[in-house]
């Protein structure tokens, strides 16, 4: 059977998915967007170059096992084609010495209905990452006459895209939280910027985090691009490094969302959910005090879960508290060993991108 691209939510029954790869993943050299994002106490500060091969092999083994488990449940799995990430990126506007990788397709590809949209991205080292998915996009285009392959305008990513007061090694969490509350993020409003992982799909509604990787112009661009959707902007002022919404706010099924208790959705942004009877519950505590070595993400990858349908959720195997909470909320929990792949770009939601989930477009917030 040929491919069908169609997915409207984060929880409808998953039938076809892309799972990333750790192959050739690099720690990119410093650049403005990364400088602001890498936590000040991180072991990654000042490092760059290809990641250790034994860590890459282990990451790939876990990603391959995850893909095989999904296939065992009847889900079609596709994989990206890595490019040579040691190559520099040079445009008329910027140069950076190496690239990143293709473990987290969720950051790059936004599937909305029958469309897959390549995000602008906001890091220079990730400017060409969409190329890893082009072989798949070409195949989907050939196989599915209804597939819309779209790419948002490539940004210039000059220094004008970044606030220089973020470009300092020592800002301090207090100052960062103050800026987050003021909605002063590293990216400026020079041009539209968004990462796909700042967007959550709730049928007719798209919920988008304004933060380091997505600016207001990026959200305005999404509004104009999806005129039949309602696009909502959200912020989580408790997050000093606000990138990607999927370790902060996790819809699990119609009516239920997990929210990171350190990054609660402010009261004045809850109306949409409350008016429609949705429950927003605090996520369980992570099982770990620290992320694994050389990892960009926080311990809250515990809540970066992948719903296979509205009753079944994949949870990282060591995240026992998160698994227990989901079990109590009535889900079948599928444990997946992925922690040693976190360093390549995230958890179970990050390392996947939807191609097809069953079910059509619904209005959950009428
Ligand atoms: N900002 C997130 C990224 C998770 C995908 C974090 O908590 O690290």
pLDDT for 98-156, tens place per residue?
Answer: 999 999 999 999 999 999 999 999 999 999 999 999 999 999 999 999 999 999 999 99
Q: What share of the chain is helix, strand, coil (3-state, %, to 5)?
A: 30, 25, 45
**Active-site residue, 57 included:** no
- Whether 292 is covered by a domain: the verdict is no
Residues contacting residue 227 through CB under 8 Å, at least 6 positions apart: none
Annotated catalytic residue within 12, 144, 195, 239: 195
Atom of ligand 1 nearest to the CA of 241: 1
Please report whether residue 345 resides in a domain: yes
Cβ of 343 below 6 Å from ligand 1: no
The C-alpha angle 14, 17, 20, rounded to 5 degrees, equals: 140
Would you place residue 1 in the very low, low, confident or very high pLDDT band (cuts 50, 70, 90)? low
For residue 44, pLDDT beyond 80: no
> Is 324 inside a domain boundary?
no
Q: Is 196 in the pocket of ligand 1 (CB under 6 A)?
A: no
Q: How far apart are CA 196 and CA 151, in angstroms?
A: 11
- In the set 244, 246, 349, 351, the catalytic residue is 244
SS3 334: strand
> Which two structure tokens, joined as six digits, stand for 121?
């991205």
pLDDT of residue 304: 98
| The total number of structural domains that make up the chain | 1
pLDDT the model gives residue 39: 76
Q: What is the ipTM, given to two decimal places?
A: 0.97
Structural domain harbouring 136: 14-236+338-357
Q: Is the pLDDT of residue 45 over 90?
A: no
Please give the pLDDT value at position 347.
98
Does position 41 have pLDDT exceeding 90, yes or no? no
Residue 354: closest CA among 110, 160, 152: 110
Burial class (CB in 10 A: 0-12, 13-18, 19+), 158: middle
Tens-place pLDDT, residues 334-348: 999 999 999 999 999
Q: How many CA atoms lie within 13 A of 220 on its CB side?
A: 7
Q: CA torsion sign, 39 to 41 to 47 to 52?
A: negative
Give the whole-number percent of the chain exceeding pLDDT 90: 93
Whether 247 lines ligand 1, by a CB cut-off of 6 Å, is yes
Q: Which ranges of the chain does DSSP label H, i.e. alpha helix?
A: 32-37, 53-72, 105-108, 134-143, 173-181, 216-225, 271-275, 320-328
Distances (CA, A) of 37 to 66, 124, 173, 203, 219: 28, 13, 12, 30, 20
Region 87-96 average pLDDT: 97
What is the torsional sign of CA 272, 223, 346, 159?
Answer: negative
pLDDT at site 236? 97
Which atom of ligand 1 is least distant from the CA of 260?
7
Encoding tokens for residue 222? 């999404």
Ligand 1 near 346 CB (within 6 A): yes
Least trusted range by pLDDT, from 32-36, 156-160, 197-201, 297-301: 32-36
Residue 194 belongs to what H/E stretch? Answer: none
Catalytic-residue membership of 195? yes
With a 6 A CB cut-off, is 244 part of the ligand 1 pocket? yes
Choice among 2-16, 37-51, 99-113 with the minimum mean pLDDT: 37-51
CATH assignment of the domain containing 232: 3.75.10.10
CA 145 to ligand 1 centroid distance, Å: 35
Q: pLDDT tens digits for 201-256?
A: 999 999 999 999 999 999 999 999 999 999 999 999 999 999 999 999 999 999 99
Q: How many CA atoms lie within 13 A of 77 on its CB side?
A: 20
Could you report the per-residue pLDDT of 315-337, keeping only the tens digit for each? 999 999 999 999 999 999 999 99
Q: Give domain status of residue 129, yes or no.
A: yes
97 is catalytic: no
Whether residue 259 is contained in a domain is answered as: no
Any atom of ligand 1 within 6 Å of the Cβ of 19: no
Q: For a substitution probing ligand 1, which of 37, 176, 185, 247 has the most ligand atoms within 8 Å of its CB?
A: 247
Atom 4, ligand 1: residue with shortest CA distance: 247
For residues 165 and 178, the answer to whether their CB atoms sit within 8 Å is: no
For residue 210, what are the contacts with CB-CB under 8 A and spacing of at least 6?
A: 183, 185, 198, 216, 219, 233, 234, 235
Instruction: Scan for tokens 């520099």, then name that residue.
Output: 88
How far apart (Å, rounded) are the C-alpha atoms in residues 343 and 331? 27
C-beta neighbour count of 123 within 10 angstroms: 24
DSSP string, 19-39: E-B-TT-EEPPP-HHHHHHS-
State residue 24's pLDDT score: 97
Say if residue 58's pLDDT is above 90. Answer: yes
Place 48 in a pLDDT band, splitting at 50, 70 and 90.
confident
- Separation of alpha carbons 127 and 123, rounded Å: 7
Inside any domain, residue 262: no
| Structural domain contains residue 126 | yes
CA–centroid distance, 313 to ligand 1, in Å, is: 19
Please tell me the predicted confidence (pLDDT) of residue 83.
Answer: 98
Average confidence (pLDDT) over 294-303: 96
Kindly report the backbone phi and psi dihedral angles of residue 343, in degrees, each rounded to the nearest multiple of 5, phi listed first.
-60, -20
217 C-beta closer than 6 A to ligand 1: no
Q: Three-state SS for 259? A: strand
Q: If you average pLDDT over every residue of the chain, what do you get?
A: 96
Res 28: pLDDT: 93
Predicted local confidence at residue 38, as pLDDT: 80
């Amino acid at each position: 059977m040929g491919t069908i691209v169609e997915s409207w939510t984060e929880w409808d029954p998953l039938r076809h998915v892309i799972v990333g790869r750790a192959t050739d993943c690099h720690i990119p050299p410093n650049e403005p967007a990364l400088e602001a994002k890498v936590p000040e106490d991180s072991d990654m500060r000042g490092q760059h170059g290809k990641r250790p091969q034994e860590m890459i092999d282990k990451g790939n083994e876990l990603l391959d096992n995850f893909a095989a488990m999904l296939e065992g449940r009847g889900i079609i799995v596709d994989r990206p084609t890595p490019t040579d990430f040691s190559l520099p990126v040079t445009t008329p506007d910027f140069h950076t010495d190496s690239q990143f990788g293709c473990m987290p397709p969720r950051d790059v590809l936004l599937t909305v209905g029958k469309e897959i949209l390549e995000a602008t991205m906001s890091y220079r080292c990730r400017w060409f990452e969409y190329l890893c998915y082009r072989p798949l996009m070409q195949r989907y285009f050939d196989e599915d006459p209804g597939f819309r392959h779209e790419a948002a305008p490539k940004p210039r990513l000059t220094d004008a895209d970044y606030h220089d007061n973020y470009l300092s090694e020592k800002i301090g969490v207090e100052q960062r939280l103050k800026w987050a509350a003021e909605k002063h993020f590293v990216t400026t409003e020079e041009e539209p910027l968004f990462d796909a992982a700042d967007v959550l799909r709730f049928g007719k509604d798209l919920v988008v985090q304004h933060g380091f990787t997505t600016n207001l112009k990026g959200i305005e661009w999404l509004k104009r691009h999806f005129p039949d959707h309602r696009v909502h902007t959200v912020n989580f002022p408790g997050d000093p490094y606000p990138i990607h919404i999927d370790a902060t706010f996790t819809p699990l099924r119609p009516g239920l969302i997990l929210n990171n208790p350190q990054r609660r959705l402010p009261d004045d942004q809850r109306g949409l959910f409350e008016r429609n009877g949705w429950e927003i519950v605090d996520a369980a505590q992570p099982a770990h005090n620290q992320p694994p070595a050389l990892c960009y993400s926080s311990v809250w990858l515990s809540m970066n879960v992948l719903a296979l349908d509205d009753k079944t959720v994949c949870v990282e195997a060591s995240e026992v508290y998160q698994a227990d909470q989901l079990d109590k909320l009535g889900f079948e929990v599928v444990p997946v060993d992925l922690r040693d792949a976190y360093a390549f770009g995230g958890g179970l939601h990050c390392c996947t991108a939807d191609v097809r989930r069953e079910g059509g477009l619904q209005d959950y917030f009428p």
